[in-house]
Structure 1
Amino acid sequence: MDVTGWLLRHTPPRPMVVTAPGGTSARVAVERAVLARGWRPALNPARTNLLVVAGHAPWLEPYLRRVWDSIPAPRVRVDVPEALDERLLDDALAALRDPVRQRTHHTEPVEDVFMADRAPDRDGLTLDELHVPLGPVLAYWPAGLIVHTRLQGDVVTAATVEVAGAGTATGDAFWSGADPVARRLDACGRLLALAGWTDQAVVAQRLRDAVLDGRPADGLARFTARVRRSRTLRWLLAGVGHVTDGPFAGDALTRLYGWLDGTGPPPDTRWALDHLPELLAGTELANARLVVASLDPDLEPSHHG
């Protein structure tokens, strides 16, 4: 009995979708296809077996290689540079379940190594300080964004922001001509996915797709009410990424509710990039991606000034 073949045939696909600058259209198309197939997305390399790259950016390859090397076998990479051809996903699934191809292409994972310095912590002790970059290859992460963090333990002590590949995107700014409700629902879905509420992230994506298609967003009020009722979500997001004043005053929970109700300010990528370092300083690393997602910066050409 071919145990490996049997296991591969019963391996569920777990796509991790990452976006290159200019790749939002491809990302949305991939997410639609993933929903239609009933596949459950993965949030990190350790849980994925399909690395799906939405958009095309040659400068991204070194980052993609590092992520690829950390994905355990079986694994397949899928590139969707522009419009999605569904056969790409069919072929990827076949490759994922093909023992010969998996044996041929398997290499040992190579983990990133982060260097530690010494720095005083908040209690006056001298502790190791790690330099850890976030991005640009992460699920539900702004395309082209790299946040360079310094960590003591699991706390971000300082952060700087880099926009990688600036000016190299070839796609159109996807949200420029779209209904703003669709973008808010997209942002809701990304934040809910990172918060671990996969079921409602899926609902947000389905509602987003309905709005993009010009169809009635049936269930929007029910979705909004359910998200607002969640005590777990309030506990998780309250106080995260708190802004003291101005149009973005509040925390990640406030911004999520603003997206749901359409009462929040329009997205401001420049504001987000300028304020991310101060918002991330003192934040636990586990919350850093929630802070970024709650600001929803869009680095495609017409939104990044």
Structure 2
Amino acid sequence: IKAIMTRLGIEEGESIDSKMVTRAVENAQKKVESLHFEARKHILEYDDVANEQRKTVYKFRNELLDPNFEVGEKIKQNRAEFVEHLLAQAGIYAGEPKSEYNLEKLSSVIISNGAFMQPDELKDLDYAELVKKITAKFESDYEEKMGVIGEDQRKYLEKVLCLQVLDTAWREHLYQMDILKTGIGLRGYNQKDPLTEYKKESFNLFMELVSRIKFESIKLLTAVRLSFSEPTESAPQEAQDTEIARVPESEEKPGKKVSRNDPCPCGSGKKYKDCHGKSGPKKGAFAEDWDKI
């Protein structure tokens, strides 16, 4: 059309009455509007897929917030799957002969995840026996650690840490889903339906999310360490006994209030706002151990 306009010598801004040009413009508009409609329809269908995943995640999250939910049973189920995951990391799978098991690597994987088992302890065991023995080791270590606190405190701790893992993993998953949605339309150039590809890819991402929530929760609960403060006369004994992993207060001396831009009284040479006046980690239960994990 542009070439025809040039040959006919039509000036810019001049009215065009040609039916051929009008039809060409209308056809182009219809094609563009059709493409945009399909894109908008796919966006809604993509959102439907994400919404189904959101319902599943928030159902579990609401269960964790329910005071009557037995999170301990869920942890036991996830621990057995976690052990199978560790065996897979060591290259050990069901059905393989025991002679091919790399027990040195398996011992290293177990130790790096919070339990201590020597290769000699794992000798001559088949796959099911390995799962059972390693799970029992993780469970006994965990029960020994958690046995020093009350049942209510234990339940609260387990729920809080599981919620933290779930929320972090869910945010990362949503970010990955946005990336997938951005480029999935290009699959159409390979004669593939973008929606079908999106459903398949998003399902794989969701299964990875579920596994990550299970395994990271077990790793975190295994790694956390409990500590207790010494009794003082100024605080009730019950409150002192239940305090866990306190973060020490900054060593500030009483006296004149120090301005944020004054030199720090500790003698470091830094400004107070960049030294002892700097905002630190949150204080309270498990704060110190949380920073180490």
The structure with higher relative contact order (CA 8 Å, sep 6+) is: 1
Superposition TM-score, scaled by structure 1 size: 0.23
Structure with greater proportional helix content: 2
Greater radius of gyration (CA): 2
